[in-house]
Chains A and B, each alone.
Chain A
Amino acid sequence: MMKSSVYGLLLLLGLMLPPAADFLESIMITHMHMQMPLLVISGIFMAKFFQNRFTGFFSKWNENGVPGILLFSIIMVYWSLPRTMDEALTLTSVEVFKFISLPFLAGVPLRDSWPKLSSFWKHALIIFFTILFLALGWLYIWSPVQLCNNYLVIEQITLGWGFISTAFAMVVYLIYSYVMDFSKYE
């Protein structure tokens, strides 16, 4: 059980190494669609440690999983703002906040909340992110201006298509889950 937390911590430390961080941040789409999700995943791995340590806290304040998933969503939306991504590159304080907020304020609550959520909330969340990603994709592809000062416009367009493809994958999942009866497999 605790092994996964150690792996999560190692992943986080690995991502914090300057060469790894610089490499992933040098390209816009790997910054947003690789480094940031990996940070969340490191938090998902580490969640067990916090759940064991603060059992009462999680069961009391995140009983139905809604506060946790809300926190997760807020952090994710925050990091999709063009400005935050830009400032992570230019301001150290923002960069530090990225490495703290994504694992601990998004990854950990996601792990704790997801099993507690009813399927209504799960689908609502996926639909919310599908719409968000379509909107962001639209913004990054068809925006007439360069949104991020630290990246080229072509990278901005690549990122936009990354968002659209992710949204497409989520739509496929939603249709699939509508058609299939998962309970047969559980």
Chain B
Amino acid sequence: MFPKNKTAFSSLAVLVFGVLLFYIGTDGFQAFTAEKARVNQLMDEKPQFPDVTLEDNNGRTYSFTEFEGKYVFITFLYTSCGTVCPELEVNMSEVYKRIPEEYIGHDIQFLSISFDPKRDTPETLDTYRKAFGSDGETWRMARIPKQQELKSLLDRFGVIVIPDEYGNFAHNSAFYLVNPKGHLVEVMDYTLIEAAAERVTEILESGGKE
């Protein structure tokens, strides 16, 4: 039962192994970077926003349940960041402008969370928010003062933050949407403003039935 040409047979076996290896390693040719895999996994798991205490740009402190019953559109940033974060926040403000006004504040809350609580005091956040046209109410900027709580949130939402030697952080960025029950339902590409705005509007229009 052995084929005549053994090397052709073993080459074929090796190729099959290769296809299998790549299939498994990329979740069925879906995710070639860990970031894509992370997003896919988050959308599957729909993790719950953990119970953390936020301190916002007005110095108010409250738990995340403050936003219960509303969708929450979230980004993660730190204000000393000179690269991605300003772009992320500008794009967030573009999404904010594209959401029909009647939903703002009632059905959806915008929230920028700082992962640098040491430097990002309420005062700093209040200055920073103005640069992006955030009103400090329907779009708030907040820090999570307790390191432990911050870590649990970052871990659960798959936000990877690596401090570098210059006091900056390397981090992955995305738009996150949490549903009224506190479950993460969407992780969106922060560079695709229109797509994100459309998706969020669609969800709001459907009244959360999706």
Contact = CB atoms under 8 A, between A and B. Distances in A.
Contact of B34 (A62, A63, A78, A148): A148
B33 A83 contact: yes
A71 B26 CA distance: 18
A61 B7 contact: yes
A63 B6 contact: yes
Majority secondary structure, B binding face: helix
Given A62-B10, A152-B164, A78 B21 contact: yes
B34 A83 contact: yes
Interface residues of B, number: 27
A52 interface: no
A46 to B, nearest CB: 20
Contacts of A150: 34, 160, 162
Given A81-B25, A146-B172, A86 B7 contact: no
A152 B170 contact: yes
A147 to B, nearest CB: 5
Contacts, number: 75
B38 interface: yes
A146 B7 contact: no
Among A62, A81, A83, max chain B CB count under 10 A is at: A83
A87 B38 CA distance: 11
Contact of A71 (B17, B32, B162): B17
A148 B38 CA distance: 11
Interface in B134-186: 160, 162, 164, 170, 172
A4 interface: no
A67 B7 contact: yes
B81 interface: no
